[in-house]
Chain A
Amino acid sequence: MEKKLKCSKAVIKDFWHSKAFLISRISLLLLLFGAIQVIGQDRVVTGKIIDLDGAPILGASIQIQGTAQGTISNNEGNFSISVDDPNTILVFSFVGMTTQEIAVGSNSVINVTMLIDTEDLQEVVVVGYGTMQKENLTGAVASVDVPLILEAKPIADVAKSLQGVVSGVTITYDNGNLNEEPNIKLRGYGSVNGGSDPLILIDGVEGRLSDVNPEAIAKISVLKDAASSSIYGARAAFGVILVTTKEGNPGRTVVNYSNNFAWSTPIWEIKHAHMEELMEAIHVGAFRNNGGAPFAFGMGGTDWREKSIAWEDQYGYLGSKMDDETMSEGRDFEVIGGQFYSYRSWDVFDQILNDNAFSQSQNLSISGGSDRVRYNLSYRFNAKEGLYKVNTETMDRHNLNINVSADLTDWATVNFKTMYSKKIYEEPFNYRTGSLGYLFYALRWPSNFPYGVSDGSYYGAPEGTSFIGPIGFLREANRNRLERDYSKQTIEAIFDVLTRETHEIDFTANISYAHSNDVDHEKGGTVPLINWWSQGNPPVFDPLYYAGTSSRNRTDYTTMNNELYSANAYANYTNTSFDGHTFNLLLGSNLEKNEYLNIYANRPFLLDPNLPELGLATGDPSVDNSRVNWSVLGFFGRINYNFRNKILLEFNGRMDGSSRFPAGDRFAFFPSLSAGYKISEEEFAGFLKGARINNLKLRTSWGQIGYQDVGQFAFISTIGNSTANWIVNSARETTFSNPTAVSPSLTWETIETLDFGVDIGLFNNKVELIFDWFQRTNKDMLGPGAQLPVVLGASVPQVNSGEMQTKGWELTLNVKHRFSDDFNVFFSGVLYDATAEITKWNNETGILSDFYSGKTIGEIWGFESNRLFQAEDFDGSGNLLEGIPVQDPNMYSTAFNIGPGDTKYVDQDGDGFVDKGAYTLEDHGDLKVIGNSTPRYEYGLRAGANYKWFDFSIFFQGIGKREYWAQGNVALPAFHYSNIFAYQEDFWSENNTDAFYPRPFTSNLSNYLTNQRDVGQLALNGYTRLRGINNYVPSSRYLQDMTYLRLKELTLGFTLPTGITERVKIQRMRIYFSAYNLWEHIGSYIPVDPESQTTSNTGFVSYGNDIPLSRSYSFGLQITF
């Protein structure tokens, strides 16, 4: 009856056990190498090895303890081995069975019945404020195979490694920037407020996964349902990820060293269209737009077209026959009548992106200890380069962990854990604003813009000077620097208050202090460039371009300081005094206080662009600061009851208080219950054994948790400052807004989760199947109040008026098989799905742009489109023929006259008029839901094998269903800027009526127009530049399929034979090759990574403009001394 629920001390013990087990297995393996030659001895011992059912066991290992001698059982389970000493002890082992040691004595026949080893079930899983044996879990808790997932990887990033590993955990990255933080969701969307993100606890303290050294992690648990996470209270509403770092073990000092050297290459490079097609498209588009040829910065006309095409004819597609970047006047560009014309075409992505970005990491850890003091030290250095060819991003990270544990007396233990990380990230200053980076610029303009450099012969520009453009800015930009320091200290005391045979009380108290400091220094400045943007004027060399632009020629400092204090105290009582009944009781309290301070300072107009400091600039400085402080206080308890390992019950409760709520409404009690029934333990369930089912457990849980992430001071009437449109002296006066109206009844969102699960073990747990179904309801979701008369004069305060329901299921399958000690294989797969629906929302008009009751999160409203209009659809005067539904010209702009080659939408309601109606639920015209952007059917599949000294593993990850309505040039040709790409050349023309894309219509009038009158005409209709969008109303035709299957990881390792390593006193040495993102299959028809396009960077023009994800190839070495 070892079903105890223990505190952290137990973690140490259990960890030690598992580690020891691992070591014993390794030594066993080593022993086997020596067992090949068995030399005849004095005496032969024979016997038969069977299992409980009497079936013979083939391939069981029989070793003479303390030697390398041994043998293996045959087909009938028989063995024979020579023994020279009656004191010999034989060690019988077989995978999945308990190892037995039997003294030979005088026996010559030894028959052995092997028992099933329940080690896999007895695996200890970290749960809230304690640990639990996996077999006794009743909630939805997943534990991660840490060595497999995190050790010796090229990616050095915990979250990236967890992608597709745990059922129900969705991890995405918006782009391939080195500094990009992951988006982590557990069981899908849970609230429209806040992030509905899981709580990430690192050794019990909230933190970021990116601050953790992956090599220092011992265990990761994911608490998915309310029953397992509710003990953490108001921040755990959407689950908890528990990370535990490695601790030391008594015994010999173990030194581990490992490294990794990786080379990365971008997965996607977008190619610009061939010049002939490009010119055709933008000329057709411009003609339709304004009746003339396109002009940008004064370049345009048929000469520009013909000379650009001729240039490409001579020097190859995208200048493939050119091998330098020097722009030669006359050949690559001309100035005619004072106007600059550029003809040379460039492979812009290739110019910007590096195929060979290097990164490396070095890890060193030392662990060991005596009986009373144990320690683990680890240090990692990781350096990465980004994907730009010049002036690229760099990121250096240092991690240091020190965990020390000391037994003060036989009843008191003290643990000290410290974690420190430093990150230094540098990137080129972005001359665009916001998320529009260098690649945005590269995709905005056609390939025949001057992306090259001066040969020194014109405009007084020194050789190598760039023309204005993304590459020029990238080359010349200062480097922004972001430094992050993070440190965390925890002191913990564990007392064995009572230790009797049947009663035990442990008491644990800990306090932690975590501190992070980020300093972000943006360094703008002037750039020496050839300015060719001045329409109608010849280019000039401007050594101080942007000198007068305060948004570019500036320096900014932002410092973000965060302090988190936390303290926990809890007592754990175990009673096993009643036969067959075990009780556990946990009682405790938790308090946390967080203080965040952000200070921002900016000053424009640098005196010297190389010295971007506040004191060395001349403009008016601007400064600001903000503070975010919060605290939580909770009292929690848990009761576990176990009846003969068959019936498992658990009750959790937490009384939680949060500073984010008004005094009277601050505390709430959140209960949860879970139960498990292990049918396989019942005697009547013997038939299960016959079916090779050794474990069958049914689980269910229900619970409620409060969610506090509803805004910082939502319940306090605040008065914000602003700047009045009124001047008394010289500056605009500062004024203050009306106090916000606040609902007196505002309170927590309550997240209620119901979960049903089943765990099945087959063939002695060689096959393990875990299935969960869940339903999570956000019962008091914060939403808009009911509409009030506007005489109120204030925004209607939010109330707990909404409701949202998430449903899903999760499947995990683990299979492992050992064919022999030299050869074993494993497979593990996860498949999961979740969808969320708004079940209650105040939206009186039913407008589709807002939430409404019955809305599935992620749904996309659009038209169905089956084809393009053709000439046959129109009569001689350009009107649609009778019977063909008319399309509302007011979808975006009345100035768009539909003609052949334009997108035709389906008249769903059959009224002969295609329109959006009132865009409400009741009247949505011909719109329908054409897709959903929520990732569905996510999966991860990992398989591997060890054969002798070789190991191999492979990991696939993907998404089974997801759509996205993407905008911007990359998704839709000439959507916003007059440019098309190689994969967009299939556009409609009279000679290509069967095209995929519509007849071009250039949309950006601010740069492509013939005269001012057109601006006026469009303005008259209230639109400045977007007529072409009429072809790109959300429709099924151009909807993106975001599904993908990706070969995330492939690893091949070689462990040096012990004979070699022992000679140099090395316990183990492994060298490996590992590749990341090696291959993929994507559903989309455009070369944009569906994995990276998640939430934030999918805006109006920026889709597909981010730094792409990369493939990495790496080598590394692991040594254990």
Chain B
Amino acid sequence: MKKIIVILTSILIFTACEDFLDIQPETDFTDDNYWTSEANLKAFSYGLYSVFLGYGTGGYFGGDHFFYVLTDDVISLDPRVEDDFPTTVPSSQSGTQWYWSDIRRTNVLIQGANRADVDESVRDKYLAIGRLFRAIEYWEKVRSFGDVPFYDEPIESTDQEALYKARDSRVVVVDNIVADLDYAIANLDEVDDKVHVNKWTALALKSRICLAAATTFEYHNVAGSNPDQLYQASYDASKDLMDNGPFSLHSSYIELFTSEDLSANSEVILMKKYNENLRHSILSFIFHEPYFGFTLDAVSSFLMTDGRPINYDGSAHPDYTEWIFNPTDTIIKAFTSYDIPVEITANRDRRIKDIIDTTRVVFLFNQGIPMYSPAKYATYEEIESQPTQGVQATSDCPVIRLGEILLNYAEAAFELGSITQTDLDNTVNLLRARADVAPLTLDVGFTADDLDPTVDPLLWEIRRERRVELMLEPYRKFDLFRWKKGDNFNRDEAFVGIKPDPSVIFEADINVLLNPDGYLYTQTPADRRVPFEDKMYLYPLPADQITLNSNLDQNPGW
């Protein structure tokens, strides 16, 4: 009896098995149990959409901005512009574009779609989504750094070969990008709900990326590249989208940027939706924290309604009146605005009123430098009523719109050497018509004073159209990069604001500098202005990454 009890008890207690220690997380998925259904693949894919920043949540320091605040269009006094526009080699990766978690995420989705037990059509759709986002992510890497290592699967932390490999040629990477885009175009549906990527999104991105890659390869003479093939790919993608897609230009330019709901807007291909659950700060950024303003160069680029620039054939346009800032009050160092007379917009491309706030001048904080202040993204009523401060606005953001595709088409057609008047009429002239500007003809018919002599006059006007139509959207900086027009950043016009009446006395403690034509420098050469150098076409790689991986070389000039 005694022994039996003892033995039974011991058996009972000593016979715990290994399973006893098997405990899996219950309130988190694991890599082993996540990849099971279409719903999970879909949920995972929403994380990838963050690449479409939308209007962002940035303020005058920190945060994300929809557009770059240092181009020849706008100038910022924010010293943090360094993040977008590095001038020195960063010591570490943190805060630079050399981050790789988003690329890993695309490869994780691709791997997960292959692992998941789902219908083939579902699997192909999420492979396509993974590859589409991988194409976007890699293009952003290529345009910033040139050659980059290409990975088509998530790397293990022990995979020495992959971790320490050398960069792949950007030509090869772009081939992979095009293959990913083609796969996406072939496998995504055509449902146009504007908030999910689809075949049209993939075509639009192919139009954008192939044109950008082609011009980069052409103007920077990238060895081993075939720009024409890429121009053609861009052209074909744009044409497919224009001919077969359900999109057309919206009648109002400003409504594209001020609507609470863009879901019915025929021009929008992909939008980022905002509401009370997700807000942005673009109104606050423009009105409450105007750390940037338009340059004289940007304001001068708008055409007159007859399709001619404000200065051509060596003299000023007869309808154009130069505006000289002559405030009636004493200038004080404060957050104050002054009226701009309406003459500046008379007989001009109407987009000037949509983009630039012609009712006031902004004083960059505490610097006393009057700049043309921005208006795009706000209705006139909103400007009047002073938009709410902070991350409050809920207007939808057009992430990809037909307007850009038309411009891609025209540029690719020109570069292919096959451009016709019909091409212009179907693209640039549709945009001009919306802006009340006379159409562009194959023979431009004048010599613009601002014409860059190395650029064909027709291409110049196509590029001008692109600049104006897409002003304050996230294109101008990398357009200048791909055209190899970094010198534009150094031109005087890109650094001056308005022209003050010489009789105006500025406060003595402000270091006012005028250019020879009497315009105020917004950034004084001795102060913040960093001259653009050729090496800046490619960002520097973070120094610590080169130290870690001896196969990684630094971009030239850094």
Q: Point out residues on A near B: beta carbons under 8 Å.
A: 411-412, 493, 495, 497, 507, 509, 567-569, 571, 589, 591, 593, 625-627, 629-633, 657-659, 663, 666, 712-713, 716-722, 724-728, 730-739, 741, 743-744, 785, 787-794, 796-797, 1011-1013, 1016-1017, 1019-1020, 1022
- Nearest CB of chain B from residue A922's CB, rounded to whole Å: 14
One digit per residue, 1 when the CB lies within 8 angstroms of any chain A CB and 0 when it does not, for chain B 267-294 equals 0000011110110000000000000000
Excluding A722-B47, A724-B50, 14 further A-B contacts by CB distance (< 8 Å) are A509-B12, A569-B13, A571-B10, A659-B21, A720-B29, A721-B29, A727-B195, A736-B29, A736-B40, A741-B156, A789-B163, A790-B93, A1016-B60, A1017-B366
Cα-based distance from A548 to B187 in the complex (angstroms)? 48
- A720 pairs with B28, CB closer than 8 A: yes
Could you name 30 residue pairs across A and B whose Cβ atoms are closer than 8 Å? Answer: A493-B5, A495-B5, A507-B9, A509-B9, A509-B10, A569-B14, A591-B16, A626-B27, A627-B26, A716-B30, A722-B47, A724-B46, A725-B49, A726-B272, A726-B273, A732-B278, A735-B44, A735-B47, A739-B31, A739-B34, A744-B158, A787-B544, A789-B545, A792-B100, A792-B155, A793-B100, A797-B157, A1016-B365, A1016-B366, A1020-B366
B residues near A (Cβ < 8 Å) are 2-3, 5-6, 9-10, 12-14, 16, 18, 20-32, 34, 40, 43-47, 49-50, 52, 54, 60-61, 77, 79-80, 93, 98-105, 108, 149, 151, 154-158, 162-164, 193, 195-196, 272-275, 277-278, 333-335, 365-366, 542, 544-545, 548-549, 552
Q: Write out the residue numbers on chain B whose beta carbons fall within 8 Å of the beta carbon of A735.
A: 43-47
Least Cβ–Cβ distance between B298 and chain A, in angstroms: 23
Residue from A509, A627, A720, A793 with most neighbouring chain B CB atoms (10 Å): A793
Residue numbers in A under 8 Å from B101 (CB-CB): 738, 793-794
With a cutoff of 8 Å between Cβ atoms, the chain B residues found around residue A797 in the complex are 157
Cβ-defined contact, B151 with A791, below 8 A: yes
A740 to chain B, nearest CB (A): 8
Partner of B98, one of A719, A790, A796: A790
Q: Which residue of chain A has its CB nearest to the CB of B548?
A: A789
Separation of A1011 and B366 alpha carbons in the complex (Å):
12
Please list the 6 inter-chain residue pairs (A to B) with the smallest Cβ-Cβ separation, ordered nearest first: A793-B104, A569-B13, A793-B100, A717-B31, A724-B46, A735-B47
Chain A min CB distance to B129 (Å): 13
A contact residues around B12 at 8 Å (CB)? 509
Docked Cα-Cα span, A744 to B157, in Å, equals 9
**CB pair A497 B366 closer than 8 Å:** no
Chain B residue with the shortest CB-CB distance to A1011: B334
B46–A1013 CB distance below 8 A:
no
Residues of A within 8 A of B151 (CB): 791
Q: Check B277–A726 contact: CB distance below 8 A.
A: no
Specify which chain A residues have a CB less than 8 angstroms from the CB of B10 in the assembled complex: 507, 509, 569, 571
What is the minimal beta-carbon distance from A628 to any residue of chain B, in angstroms?
9
Which of B23, B275, B366 has the most chain A CB atoms closer than 10 A to its own CB? B23
Contact check: which of A629, A717, A788 meets B23 at CB < 8 Å? A629
- For A493, give its contact among B9, B14, B31, B99 (CB under 8 Å): B9
Contacts of B77 in A (CB 8 A): 1020
Cβ A788 vs Cβ B14 within 8 A: no
Q: List the B side residues contacting A787 at CB < 8 Å.
A: 544, 548
Interface centre among B9, B50, B60, B545 (most CB of A within 10 A): B9
Partner of A737 from B47, B158, B277 at Cβ < 8 Å: B47
Give bound CA distance, A169 to B528, whole Å: 59
CA distance A610 to B533 in the complex (A): 68
A796: B residues at CB distance < 8 A: 157
**Out of A625, A716, A722, A744, which one reaches B25, CB within 8 Å?**
A716
* Cβ contact within 8 Å between B5 and A412: yes
Whether A412 lies near B335 (C-beta < 8 A) is no
In the complex, A680 Cα to B260 Cα: how many Å? 91
Give Cα A658 to B12, complex, Å.
Answer: 20
Q: Are B335 and A1013 in contact (CB under 8 A)?
A: yes
What's the Cα separation between A738 and B48 when bound, in Å? 11
Q: Residues of B contacting A792 with CB < 8 Å?
A: 100, 104, 155, 157, 163
Contact indicator B21/A633 (Cβ below 8 Å) = yes
A353 to B318, CA, bound (A): 81
Contact in complex: A724, B49 (CB < 8 Å): yes
Which residue of chain A is the closest to B44 with respect to CB atoms? Answer: A736
Q: Are A791 and B157 in contact (CB under 8 A)?
A: no
CA gap between A737 and B16 in the complex, in Å: 36
Select one of A497, A567, A659, A727 contacting B6, CB under 8 A: A497
Q: A663 to B20, alpha carbons, bound, how many Å?
A: 11
In the assembled complex, the CB of A923 is this many whole angstroms from the nearest CB of chain B, namely 13
Point out the residues of chain A lying under 8 angstroms from B157, CB to CB: 741, 743, 785, 788, 792, 794, 796-797
Question: What is the bound-complex CA distance between A659 and B17, given in angstroms?
Answer: 12
Please, which residue of chain A has its CB at the minimum distance from the CB of B162?
A: A791
Q: Which residues of B contact A663 (CB under 8 A)?
A: 18, 22
Cβ of A631 and Cβ of B23 under 8 Å apart? yes
- Quote the shortest CB–CB distance from A46 to chain B (angstroms): 56
Q: How far is the CB of B64 from chain A (nearest CB, A)?
A: 10
Chain B residues with CB under 8 A of A721: 28-29
Question: Given B30, B108, B548, which contacts A788 in the complex, CB threshold below 8 Å?
Answer: B548
CA distance A629 to B23 in the complex (A): 7
Inter-chain CA distance A593–B17, complex, in Å, is 13
Contact B30 A717 (CB under 8 A): yes
Q: Please give, as numbers and ranges, the residues of chain A lying within 8 Å of B54 by CB-CB distance.
A: 725
Give the interface centre of A493, A569, A722, A785 by most chain B CB atoms within 10 Å.
Answer: A569
- In the bound assembly, the distance between CA atoms of A738 and B99 in angstroms comes to 14
Set B3, B6, B156, B333: member contacting A1013, Cβ < 8 A: B333
Nearest Cβ in chain A — how far from B452, in angstroms? 35
Q: For the complex, give the distance between the alpha carbons of A716 and B28 in Å.
A: 11
Smallest Cβ-Cβ distance to A408: which chain B residue: B5
Asked if B278 and A789 sit within 8 Å, CB to CB, the answer is no
Whether the pair A793, B9 counts as a contact (CB closer than 8 A) is no
CB–CB A791/B43 < 8 A: no
Q: How far is the CA of A412 from the CA of B24 in the complex (A)?
A: 40
Which of these, A632, A718, A734, A741, contacts B28 with CB under 8 Å?
A718
Give the complex CA separation of A632 and B22 in angstroms.
10
**Chain A residues closer than 8 Å to B16, beta-carbon distance:** 589, 591, 633
Q: How far is the CA of A324 from the CA of B49 in the complex (A)?
A: 62
Provide the residues of chain B in CB contact with A666, threshold 8 Å.
Answer: 18, 21
Inter-chain contact B108/A738, CB cutoff 8 Å: yes
Nearest chain B residue, comparing its CB with the CB of A1024: B61
Closest Cβ neighbor of B163 among chain A residues:
A789
* Cβ-defined contact, B196 with A728, below 8 A: yes
B182 to chain A, nearest CB (A): 24
Q: A507-B10, A630-B23, A722-B47 are in contact. Are A727 and B274 (CB under 8 A)?
A: yes
Q: Give chain A nearest CB distance to B92 CB in angstroms.
A: 8
Could you say which residues of chain A place their CB within 8 Å of the CB of B44? 735-736
Chain B's nearest CB lies how many Å from the CB of A594?
10
In the bound complex, how far is the Cα of B23 from the Cα of A743, in angstroms? 18
Our pick among B22, B43, B102 for the contact of A734 (Cβ within 8 Å) is B43
Contact A712–B21 (Cβ < 8 Å): no
Select B9's contact among A569, A722, A1019, beta carbons within 8 Å: A569
Q: Once bound together, how far apart are the Cα atoms of A470 and B10, in whole Å?
A: 62
B5 CB, nearest partner CB in chain A, Å: 7
Chain A residues with CB under 8 Å of B196's CB are: 728
* B6:A507 contact, CB within 8 angstroms: yes
B549 touches A726 (CB 8 A): no
A630 vs B274: C-alpha distance when bound (angstroms): 42
B18, B34, B157, most chain A CB atoms within 10 A = B157
Residues of A within 8 A of B163 (CB): 788-789, 791-792
Chain B residue numbers with a CB within 8 Å of A493 are 5, 9
Chain B residues near A1017: list those with CB within 8 A. 365-366
Cβ-defined contact, A728 with B21, below 8 A? no
Known: A720-B28, A791-B155. A725 touches B34 (CB 8 A): no
Q: Which residues of A contact B156 (CB under 8 A)?
A: 741
Residue ID in chain B nearest A790 by CB atoms: B93
Bound form: Cα–Cα A591–B154 in Å: 39
Question: Which residues of chain B are near A411, meaning CB under 8 Å?
Answer: 2
